[in-house]
A = this chain, B = another copy of it.
């Protein structure tokens, strides 16, 4: 016997939550066609201060509650959509929903990144579904492809631009030649960066998303804390000038790479070839390049955030879950975890490096630098440029190395910092080809 309708409970009524409520209402008819029966919004769990929002009246005040128990014990709710964000109390809410036998759809990257495996186990034990397509890349299909369409592949690499805030800032720096703080201020003015931008600009947000994608790709449990991360604040306008001259763009890349039986997972700014597709991903757009043994390279591109794209992903999850409920699918896909995945320590990775230094403007400087690098088995591929500063009698030296170990590079940087001829080590950036 099919259900006559499927009840929806919504947690959170911010920009995303109110957009999702709007889509559920405005697209009720076509969504019912997709599912087989109507999706009916039953209740919206909000915090006290939400009750003053004008949209409350559009939806109808009777749908709203601040009472947890009233919400979670509502037997008419089949699917709980969690859109409040943050780890607590969202995690407790998700656990409560699952243990009460509710199917769950969430856009919460932090909760899924940190607790995904446990929540999926709990969903399976309770014979309900847990979907989180909106947690990475907004409306871009990224979770489902790993669970379904790429499932025949051994995934060997992920190269992702998955933080719109930093990509907007880097794009402004690249195009307008402005420095980091000016670009950040512009992003904040436009609402692309928060007042406290740390989570985005330090790469922490990207580690959440990479943890989710890597866990899916490897069918393993990779946590945000397993992922090395480095932010974009050290990048200067001059780095972008040199990058362009060298044929590169600079992007905050989230990288997962399979190397034999280990996996490299890291988030940091990277030089990538100007003519690569990822280099063309500008502004708040996101893109994820996936390498699989069968499919070779596939790339997914789109808006990584915003209420409309995010609602697209949330609603698609709701429809998928509702179809399962309508069709009486009792068993849900259970991720089988590989436990043998070893994270490669950051010190063991090997890449090319871009190195920018302020040096004394006199002869013999380069040979001293070359000597220090050579002592750590690092050879120089090219010396790019020197811009002399007549007043301070310094110049800017930019080097590209051949592939070198991270550990050796860090030691070499330490060595260079003691050279009397080097005024400052401006920046070093890894290169991904």
Interface residues of A (CB under 8 A from B): 23, 27, 31, 33-34, 133, 138-141, 144-145, 148-153, 275, 277, 280, 292-303, 308-309, 311-313, 315-316, 319-320, 323, 327, 329-331, 333, 336
Contacts and interface: CB of A to CB of B under 8 A. Distances in A.
Contact of A296 (B139, B141, B315): B139
A331 B298 CA distance: 31
Nearest to A302: B298
Interface centre among A149, A151, A293, A330 (most CB of B within 10 A): A149
Nearest to A141: B149
A104 to B, nearest CB: 18
A333 B322 CA distance: 12
B296 A309 contact: yes
Contacts of A153: 312
A266 B330 CA distance: 43
A280 B273 CA distance: 13
Contact of A316 (B27, B152, B311): B152
A301 to B, nearest CB: 4
Given A145-B141, A277-B301, A336-B33, A152 B296 contact: no
A312 B145 CA distance: 12
24 contacts: A23-B152, A139-B294, A139-B295, A141-B144, A141-B298, A144-B149, A148-B320, A149-B316, A152-B316, A277-B277, A277-B280, A277-B301, A292-B312, A294-B312, A295-B302, A295-B312, A296-B303, A296-B308, A296-B309, A297-B302, A298-B300, A299-B299, A300-B301, A323-B333
Contact of A299 (B33, B300, B320, B333): B300
A225 to B, nearest CB: 27
A153 B145 CA distance: 18
Contacts of A149: 133, 141, 144, 313, 316
Given A298-B302, A299-B299, A300-B300, 4 more contacts: A27-B152, A148-B316, A148-B320, A277-B277
A299 B301 contact: yes
Nearest to A275: B280
